[in-house]
Amino acid sequence: MTVVTRFAPSPTGYLHIGGARTALFNWLFAKHHGGKYLLRIEDTDRARSTQPAIEAILDGLSWLGLDWDGEVVYQFERAARHAEAKQMLAEGKAYHCYASPQELDEMRAAQKKAGLPMRYDGRWRDRRPADAPSGVAPVIRLRAPQSGKTVIQDAVQGEVTVENAQLDDMILLRADGTPTYMLAVVVDDQDMGVTHVIRGDDHLNNAFRQLQIIKAMGWPEPIYAHIPLIHGPDGAKLSKRHGALGVDAYRDMGFLPAALRNYLLRLGWGHGDDEIIPTEQAIEWFDLPAVGRAASRFDLVKLTNLNAHYLRETPDAALLPMVLPRIEASIGGPVDAIGLERIERGMAGVKQRARTVVELADNLVFYAKSGAPQIADDKARAQLTPDARMLLGKLASALEGENDWNEPAMEGAIRRFAEQQGVKLGEVAQPLRVALSGSTASPGIFEVLSVLGPAETRQRLLAASG
């Protein structure tokens, strides 16, 4: 059997973090078993489905590297196929229900008053269409079993059971002929050859109803795997205050797709004590038995720390196109050839201290443009005292005789200068750092000197000393 999974988001909003994890688990499972991972856009809710949301989902999945097999399936386009469920009428597996909306409202109100579950009571289950009132367009309902149990052998949750008496005869086709979500999902999964339905456990109750349709149609049952939801650090349902943002927001915040994949993988799945799990290793290891039953907790701090690791491991050349647009936006124009060369030379040192692409870009800005850097804040400005400015002016002259501008040579030159001036190294290094980078936090000052070179260093020192 070829494993076929699917990710089936509704385009009513962004691709949120929980949806991204569901897509990842489907993608990994299919890859692990050498199968197919399909994408279906469930856009039957025409009032809420939007093209921008569809584009955001496709873009988010592509950015995460979760490319799907084949063409995207759009559920709305398959309405005619869903309507073929009318064949169940002839087989006695479904029936017309002529109950009016008012009649159904009265039924529910009576059930509520009596303290009963509000379910359709089957009033048209065994009646003839000849008894139908005039002017009421019927819906088509499933003739669901009224006794026994519906049992699901869930690959994550284990065996889960519901008494059929707790389920009613659900609507398959509305009065206008359009399919309900329950029917459309089942038909699409069947036609797409889906073998494993991996989704959030908030869909578990839907699975019982969908399985009844599958059995009525005589189709093979998929293997269900309902994964626990993601909660916030406080254990509450994940919300925007916890980080329940669109995937595009994490990209804008400077997270790398490989880091986000790794982090989402560890939300509800584990392999011993392993935390850093590259994608190829994840494909080799991932399987459903290792998915836990308890809700996982989203922690932005852990994600940020993991992202820092992936930044350090990413080649400089791959990071450059990520940071360059951010740097150019910061300086208000394109980076010239000299600035680009300095950024490339300084990347290795700066990325050791950055946690996100945003931080990386911010910390590289002072390399991008020639001339005195913008002073970051009052803390940095306080380093440029009159005495410190005088020292920087002397340092500009002292460095004129230096021929070697590598890091060891610069360290030796600055230490000698401090000794000659009778001051501690820090009394020179901190003002020097602010003069060259505009901040009290930068890569190693000797590394900065080496990257900037003699001409740019002198220009910045003279500007600070004046």
Residue type, 449: L
3-state secondary structure 288-316: HHHECCCCEECCHHHHHHHHHHHHHHCCH
Would you say the C-alpha torsion 420, 378, 366, 336 has a positive or negative sign? negative
Reading the block at residue 47, the tokens are: 């009032």
Residue 20 bridge partners (DSSP): none
**Whole-number Å distance between alpha carbons of 326 and 331:** 9
Nearest to 10 by CA among 64, 63, 47, 35: 47
Half-sphere exposure of 301 (CA within 13 A, CB side): 2
Based on the residue annotation, tell me whether 36 is a catalytic residue of this protein: no
**Spatial contact of 163 and 188, defined as CB atoms under 8 Å apart:** no
- Of 240, 302, 351, 424, the catalytic one is 240
- Taken as a whole, the chain contains a residue count of 466
Would you say the C-alpha torsion 402, 407, 413, 414 has a positive or negative sign? positive
Nearest to 198 by CA among 228, 156, 160, 226: 226
Pairing of strands 36-41, 73-74: parallel
- Secondary structure of residue 98 in the 3-state scheme: coil
Buried b (16+ CB within 10 A) or exposed e, 25-46: bbbbbbbbbebbbbbbbbbbee
Look-up of token digits 């994890």: 21
**Whole-number Å distance between alpha carbons of 395 and 417:** 7
Strands of 51-103, DSSP E: 73-74, 94-97
**Whole-number Å distance between alpha carbons of 33 and 225:** 15
**Whole-number Å distance between alpha carbons of 349 and 358:** 16
Per-position DSSP letters for 234-283, written without gaps between them? TSSBP-TTTT--BHHHHHHTT--HHHHHHHHHTSSB--TT-----HHHHH
Nearest to 396 by CA among 466, 300, 346: 466
Active site residues: 240
